[in-house]
A and B are shown apart, each in its own frame.
Chain A
């Protein structure tokens, strides 16, 4: 088990290194193929109608004249050993892990990421709770009453939920519930949990529901399919033959088995989500990692892009590792080696 975890962690680190190289490569190498010079790259980070001198100075400050390998090495060195940042009037230390400073705002990337994690995490945890409870219970009920009106209604809704994008449902829900009825706060509302938990939940209610709706749809459909399959298994018949109550048959024997594949999906979904719920955060203007990622990409702000990509990838890698470990706990037939 321990060797398994160590092996997986080494694999994860290799994966992160690869991802960072690819991201770096896309940023530098691809424009170079298109013939972009260091000045052309730097001209993204200057103001309107900047003079060639300005562009040259910025290209120099950002180190674009060095070979890509040297620049990548500098990035890695910053991560491992920290870096220094010259802000004109002085020099600032950026302790490891230093993801560098934004090309545009000059702000250090890592504190910004740390600052935004609670937002995304809050969004993810609340939505996950809603969608797992909601999606799984609807899926179970649908499976048990297969073909009923409830089944058809919920599966129809689930189909809509899967196919409607967040920026549509989110915008509609804001217009109706925030601006029309005034029940929920307008977009952009965010309060830290430690400051006021009730306000925190109230502000996140609409994003939670919208996001959960999307995922709940998938989970309801999967749970239903899984339950239909499991409830036809021989061991369910055995459980009934033992005289077990039907609700215990469903929960302890049926659901337990049906949830196993859902656990995998959940791990990956949750991992992706805490790496940044891009659409939800942009739609509701939540200052989380997803919004950060979109802005970073829109601004072509390499240090920010690298930071958020690595953090998001890290979350996914950790999530999949946790899922694998949990899997071994849930399903004794799985042995990790």
Chain B
């Protein structure tokens, strides 16, 4: 069994308008020292998944089923209090937009100290020293001084570093980073990604990076999971996803990757339409209304949910088209366009 093993995870929210199937049968695993990237548009269920692993849906309205095994312990059936104790210590999370994710009324130091003292019975002074130490390790200059600053006194990049420091303060074995660089400008993004890679090596923790941007995971991940409408549509090693992608949605994501040398609005292979409502998920293949190749399935796309099938060596794809069809489309139509520049 892997360090983190998620099996057939379903997270559904009953609302007045109907059942929202945010995560609908998701399975994956991550080993210590390895990084999994979860990629998808907003509303695809990736953030809900990460909050589900942390147990933050417990006590809410969410209906959760499936299994989450962390280091041999099942978390869905565990008590809320037990999961709370693991939270922040064994598993921690780095949120996007650190300005809104950090409390505006407390200093950065106080927030790190608080995180540390929840799980470590130490004095404030000790915790403070630890906080300064952590700030130094994430590359904040003059940490002894900046420890008393408020989040709004930091730049965006500094705030993200502080957020990382807070998440790492208890040496978590599982670290989930939710859009860790979205709010940052491009040069800072690169610095943060470098930092995370270095820290992961240092701590040897399992890392899940959640993003809508394949570019982010390209540098960090060992494996990548592409999510669409609460389901995994393609899973494979980073090489699989970047060099042998087989799902039309993945192609779309690759086509919309922002690059330093392109205008961000310029999309080579834009995905038509918008993500589906999670209450009324399209029948059959959830992606079919936006898929340029839906006709090729002879109607199966609208009636039958495609299975997540292995193509080779752990590379999984959820598509009605045959493997040959997909490979030839990639080789002849998609790849040349992506390489035009």
Contact = CB atoms under 8 A, between A and B. Distances in A.
Q: Do A and B bind each other?
A: yes
Interface of A: 233-235, 237-246, 253, 256-257, 260, 330-333
A331 B101 contact: no
24 contacts: A233-B100, A235-B102, A235-B104, A237-B51, A237-B56, A237-B95, A240-B56, A241-B54, A241-B87, A241-B92, A241-B93, A241-B95, A242-B87, A242-B118, A243-B85, A243-B87, A245-B84, A246-B59, A257-B103, A257-B104, A332-B104, A332-B107, A332-B150, A333-B150
Contact of A243 (B89, B100, B104, B105): B89
Interface in B75-89: 84-89
B103 A239 contact: yes
Contacts of B97: 234
Given A235-B104, A242-B118, 17 more contacts: A235-B102, A235-B103, A237-B95, A240-B56, A241-B88, A241-B93, A242-B114, A242-B115, A243-B86, A244-B118, A245-B84, A256-B103, A256-B105, A331-B104, A332-B150, A332-B152, A333-B150
Contact of B102 (A238, A240, A244): A238
A242 B150 contact: no
B88 A243 contact: yes
Q: State the majority secondary structure of interface residues on A.
A: helix
A195 to B, nearest CB: 42
Given A256-B105, A257-B105, A332-B105, A238 B87 contact: no
A238 B114 CA distance: 12
A332 B56 CA distance: 29
A331 B105 contact: yes
B11 interface: no
A303 B93 CA distance: 66
A172 to B, nearest CB: 39
B119 interface: yes
Find the residue from A245, A260, A330, A332 having the highest chain B CB count within 10 A: A332
Contacts of B118: 242-244
Contact of A240 (B87, B100, B104): B87
Interface of B: 51, 54, 56, 59, 84-89, 92-93, 95, 97, 100-105, 107, 114-115, 118-119, 150, 152, 166
Contacts of B85: 243
B94 to A, nearest CB: 9
B168 to A, nearest CB: 12
B11 to A, nearest CB: 15
B87 A333 contact: no
Contacts of A257: 103-105
A244 to B, nearest CB: 6
Contacts of B104: 235, 257, 331-333
Nearest to A241: B93
B16 to A, nearest CB: 11
A264 B9 CA distance: 46
Nearest to B119: A243
Given A243-B89, A244-B118, A331-B104, A238 B95 contact: yes
A234 B183 CA distance: 14
B59 to A, nearest CB: 8
Contacts of B100: 233-235
Contacts of B107: 332
Closest 8 CB pairs of A and B: A243-B88, A243-B87, A234-B100, A242-B88, A234-B101, A242-B115, A235-B103, A332-B150
Contacts of A244: 88, 114, 118
A60 to B, nearest CB: 62
Given A241-B56, A332-B150, A235 B119 contact: no
A56 to B, nearest CB: 66
A269 to B, nearest CB: 22
B208 to A, nearest CB: 13
Contacts of A238: 95, 101-103
